[in-house]
Structure 1
């Protein structure tokens, strides 16, 4: 059997078998990126995503919208969330839920951005009735 082993430095080691078969062992770690998977190499570096994999996830877009809409109110560009909703052509309740995302704990925001939230946590879980205490928010994720 032919066997190619790649050590942590990325250097392959070729082992030849008498029956001509080939086995390839590659030390990689598969990391979840939203609904996609990413490869982490043994040295800790990540494989760069293909250009079409750079699209933000829906929860990342919602987080960005929430911050943008809150900034519109804080800067005086809009007086209320109702005004923001009207300008954006969105439902006021939707705008309010997305603005709720601006109160998330920093580690939850980081998990959203690096796509490491548990798959069972939904946008609705985080945006509707979001507790203000970060420990309570973390409890939503840890259930």
Structure 2
């Protein structure tokens, strides 16, 4: 869905799970595909977990996604990473306080992502995105 939004605006999204593993580790895969100017990380409730101090399980993003978020924040800087959060997914504790965007069903996340891309210095033409 995010890639379908970005492609008409002449962005070329790299989706990690669609890239060849080439026998490497997750971090090597990130490094091999990290020559980018901006990263969008999707925090979706694909796992559940809890702190040992709590009893109730909470929806969480997969640990590889949390690693990807941290990697790209370190590699590109926070201003070049947009985390889109779907549902009531628990945020990584070290990420609390950093602004993220809600990935809603109404599509307002598209304008929020476009705003972040523009603020990061990218040309954004929403006419191309919404002309389909």
Tell me which interval the TM-score lies in, with the shorter structure as reference length: under 0.3
Q: Which has the higher contact order (CA 8 A, sep 6+)?
A: 2
TM-score of the pair, normalised by structure 1: 0.25
Structure of higher CA gyration radius? 1
Q: TM-score, normalised by structure 2?
A: 0.26
